[in-house]
Structure 1
């Protein structure tokens, strides 16, 4: 039985979702799992260490039965930069900040449509994932602003006009890679916002 099929049957049989299978040098077999998405759920549950241990034990047995060779098995959660691969992943994380890489640059035509604001050679974008206006169920768009980076300690004028909002439509076939953008928010390190009057 093929590795993909063995791993997928084992993982889904235990009630998890298979996100990724990766073979690395030195015989490492890395399996990434997640909990199945329930549309409309109030809280999106996370994979725990116990979940990973449970899947590891079952996979060790299944891989041994099928004669799959590996030196080390690692089962983990997708982490904060979870890859997005299927239509269901895009539905699940619509409205989230994502990083996408296109297979080919956007080209001169799209760059010109954007008023020259987007380089024709650009392939990488970070922005909010939204369902696109185009026809077909697999049409998505990423929406972003190309704000200039602010240096630490630099004051930004409140009168400065924000960069224009831009959007790029795409289908899943046009993507080389899509991931959740790894954003970490440490308590006490948030930028100071406007103070509210008492």
Structure 2
């Protein structure tokens, strides 16, 4: 049996809580920064997440995490909005943000570049497709380190 990652376990716990409040679970990350561990849960809703929304979800998730205790080490729990320039990870993100300007960062250079910016065409046949200068550019998911929205003010 494959051991589940902490992020997957927490996502299973968080999803019903987040959905009950009509929010979207955007991402869960469990990372070490310095000597401390952080469990970060990112939530969103149309119109944006408020501090009160984060507090409600944080309290409910905290209670269940205390009860189930799936994480051995101590950590800080943070529930927040993913921000305007949120990374696109789920298939639904690529549908939701079609037509918007995105930045694609790849692990290894392609034609001497590691960063590409263009209009998100979508996720087509498992490939991330963006339009740059009137031509579509495709990226295999395995070669992509990050896709995020570009916000220009």
Tell me if both proteins adopt one fold, taking TM over 0.5 as the criterion: yes
Q: Distance in 1 between matches of 2:90 and 2:29?
A: 17
Q: Distance in 2 between matches of 1:45 and 1:74?
A: 21
Shift of 1:171: 4.3
Count of aligned pairs between the two proteins: 141
Give runs of aligned pairs for residues 1-198 of structure 1, distance below 5 A: 2-23=9-30, 24-25=32-33, 26-35=36-45, 44-67=46-69, 68=71, 69-106=73-110, 120-131=111-122, 137-145=125-133, 165-183=134-152, 185=153
- CA-to-partner distance for each residue in 1:90-129, whole Å, 9 max, x for gaps? 01000111111124433xxxxxxxxxxxxx2322111111
Q: Which has the higher strand share?
A: 2
- CA-to-partner distance for each residue in 1:70-105, whole Å, 9 max, x for gaps? 442211111011110122100100011111112443
Question: Post-superposition, which runs of at least 4 consecutive aligned residues in structure 1 deviate over 4 A?
Answer: none
Q: Distance in 2 between matches of 1:140 and 1:13?
A: 31
> Runs of 5+ in structure 2 lacking a partner?
1-5
Q: Distance in 1 between matches of 2:112 and 2:130?
A: 17
> Runs of 5+ in structure 1 lacking a partner?
36-43, 107-119, 146-164, 186-198
Give the number of the structure whose alpha-carbon radius of gyration is greater: 1
Q: TM-score, normalised by structure 1?
A: 0.61
Going from structure 1 to structure 2, the CA distance change for 1:131 and 1:9 (only over 3 Å counts) comes to: closer
Q: TM-score, normalised by structure 2?
A: 0.76
Q: Which has the higher helix share?
A: 2
Shift of 1:141: 2.2
Going from structure 1 to structure 2, the CA distance change for 1:143 and 1:3 (only over 3 Å counts) comes to: same
Q: Distance in 2 between matches of 1:13 and 1:70?
A: 27
Asked if the contact 1:10/1:62 (under 8 Å) is kept, the reply is no
